[in-house]
Structure 1
């Protein structure tokens, strides 16, 4: 296993994110357990940096949080401070500049949807706000029974803006998604499983994630990529369009399998 470098100029312990590589599996760990992995722009910069340096042979990315919680969300000491990424400073930018800055923040999350990799969020304790959205950007979410989700941006007068709203709506439907976002309430693991937010709720998080990773790695890489693309785009296609997408994907697989024999 090798440990990746942090963002330029920031050691891993200062960026708040650890990156470990073990063959085709990369593990990204939020590593500020003393503040329940509350997130900062420096962490987002490192997450984006990891997306750029991820080796091409990586097939699975596991995202987890050190300590007793996945992530308590945005670090309010930064949000309410005087730095360039504070809420006050962002509000002083032009609309275009502010939107561009937020686009940079979003890119730290949205690469997890890349069709060439399968991403798994291993969630224990709280996943609030930015933490919830980080988990939502992953393909699958494996939870311990003490896990809690919350889209808490509304409590700050803000909207979720880190790529989580579409996936949330796809998973639970628009009415339930609206209720979750407007109330900011805590969603326990059993409810998350019942309404489709959780892939699994398990007593042994490490073991379950290891088993799921092994199952993904055992499958043909090309088939995995095609299946992910088929399913992620299904909601945007009509039945006829999805049928055609299936035919085209299968044609590619048959050709690729024949060429490798």
Structure 2
């Protein structure tokens, strides 16, 4: 396949992957199987036909509603599909080939964890473990960081936030970070290397400030007790850093 067509293939693949991820994000927290059972309307149970499962297209043709009961389909479903398509296209644009496909997997895993954290404040250990292990394996394909850099990034990322969480609990007498956040940063470190960890935290902090400002502009009450999904914020910061590392072949970190 010509290199200029790979980003388009990444977009198409991302739409397909995104449809699966959107289903996983709905079913997994409810304890439902993601693999078995036909797709159905979450409201009336109507089993969807193949023509009603085309990513994005089916949503638009049905005006975002179930064809059977008319209930609106959750907008986050199409948002996940489109985000996964964007990730696939950008990854294969930055690195056409196997390296770009590996980066797309990184982005899709981050997307899934971010959505679960936003919706359920949950970062599943199994998914963060897959993120970490795939990052270490991907070091065989990447030019931006070595296996040792990534292993160090995994250990340092986990240790840094675990220490912060322990200190906060000791000082304030309550949890300030979720148990999955240190594991999430460690898993990201397994992809980006230890050198990128400060930028991940900085980027997550900046995104968090923007989220807090948007809450205030919409009339929300933002205090120091307000909960922000740190895992999601780190995920949003991490993928652009991977793109930068890949485009610059790791020249700076």
TM-based fold match above 0.5: no
Give the helix-richer structure, 1 or 2. 2
Higher relative contact order (CA 8 A, sep 6+): 2
TM-score range, shorter chain: under 0.3
Give the strand-richer structure, 1 or 2. 1
TM-score by length of structure 2 reads 0.27
TM-score by length of structure 1 reads 0.26
